[in-house]
């Protein structure tokens, strides 16, 4: 019973305590993964999520730290490996968004976006490249706005375009290791990150812009992640636009 086939696969989900991250954690847990739920500032939400998984018979662990801090992330990966014996899948949903026109954008906010979204993704991807076991997957997060190019998203799109680029290169650098690297690019999805600061009129307009005429649910995005984390072994070095046909 100690064979690889009978050992649950292990996933680490950064930003796993809320929004899309929570949906990803729930989906992977239901598919039999042992899940490490990362949080940056809200341990209570992560602990509650872990308790729910373990109460249902699953395996889960809450782990905290700044994704842009390489020392903290190295220790976090150590913690997950010690608890579960290794890591098969890393899903990096952690990110922040600030909106505004480029001409007037606050550069302190720009630096915060770049630190979390670009440096954070780089640091986590670096650790994942060193640690993920053969047959595993690394899944980073972009945005469909890299294609729709909505005004006021300049800083955010700049950070997510960088995420796409580094993910595609990492996929090629891991040649021969049987580890896939992809990015998921959600469209407008009903999360606190997306809805914050938007009027009902704007939200309704974005809903109608999608051919399916609704916002995405976090669970819609989690389906794509589960596909890349599991059966999608021939999908590698791609950006998957999960957006209901927005663009």
* Cα dihedral across residues 216, 111, 45, 203: positive or negative: negative
pLDDT digits (tens, 9 = 90+) for 53-97: 999 999 999 999 999 999 999 999 999 999 999 999 999 999 999
- Pair 118, 111: CB distance under 8 Å: no
Secondary structure string (H, E, C) spanning 203-233: HHHHHHHCCCCCCECHHHHHHHHHHHHCCCC
pLDDT score of 74: 98
Looking at residue 50, its pLDDT comes to 98
Model pTM score: 0.93
What are the C-alpha distances in Å from 54 to residues 50, 208, 210? 6, 39, 37
Token pair 């042992």 in the structure block, residue: 34
**pLDDT score of 12:** 98
User: Cα(196)–Cα(66) distance, rounded to whole angstroms?
Assistant: 22
Residues designated catalytic = 156
Closest listed residue to residue 165, CA positions, set 177, 178, 181, 180? 181
Q: Rounded CA gap, 14 and 62, in Å?
A: 10
Distance of alpha carbon 82 from alpha carbon 128, whole angstroms:
15
Q: From first to last of its 247 residues, what are the pLDDT tens digits of the chain?
A: 334 455 789 999 999 998 999 999 999 999 999 999 999 988 999 999 999 999 999 999 999 999 999 999 999 999 999 999 999 999 999 999 999 999 999 999 999 999 999 999 999 999 999 999 999 999 999 999 999 999 999 999 999 999 999 999 999 999 999 999 999 999 988 887 777 777 888 888 878 888 988 888 999 999 999 999 999 999 999 999 999 998 7
All structural domains of the chain, each given as residue ranges with its CATH number in brackets, are 6-189+218-242 (3.40.50.720)
User: What is the structure's pLDDT at 13?
Assistant: 98
């Amino acid at each position: 019973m100690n064979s690889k086939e009978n050992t649950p696969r292990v996933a680490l989900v950064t930003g796993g305590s809320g929004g899309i991250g929570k949906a990803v954690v729930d989906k992977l847990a239901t598919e039999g993964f042992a899940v490490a739920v990362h949080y940056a500032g809200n341990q209570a939400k992560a602990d509650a999520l872990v308790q729910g998984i373990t109460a249902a018979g699953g395996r889960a662990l809450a782990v905290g730290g700044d994704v842009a801090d390489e020392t903290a992330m190295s220790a976090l990966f150590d913690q997950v490996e010690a608890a579960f014996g290794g890591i098969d899948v890393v899903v990096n949903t952690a990110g922040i968004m600030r909106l505004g026109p480029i001409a007037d954008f606050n550069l302190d906010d720009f630096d915060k976006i770049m630190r979390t979204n670009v440096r954070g993704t780089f640091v986590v991807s670096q650790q994942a490249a060193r640690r993920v076991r053969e047959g595993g997957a690394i899944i980073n997060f972009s945005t469909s706005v890299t294609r729709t190019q909505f005004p006021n998203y300049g800083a955010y799109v700049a950070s997510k375009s960088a995420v796409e680029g580094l993910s595609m290169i990492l996929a090629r650098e891991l040649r021969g290791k049987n580890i896939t690297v992809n990015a998921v690019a959600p469209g407008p999805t009903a999360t606190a990150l997306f809805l914050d600061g938007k009027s009902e009129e704007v939200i309704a307009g974005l809903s109608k812009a999608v051919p399916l005429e609704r916002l995405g649910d976090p669970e819609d995005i989690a389906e794509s992640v589960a596909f890349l984390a599991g059966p999608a072994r021939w999908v590698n070095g791609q950006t998957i636009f999960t957006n209901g046909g927005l663009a």
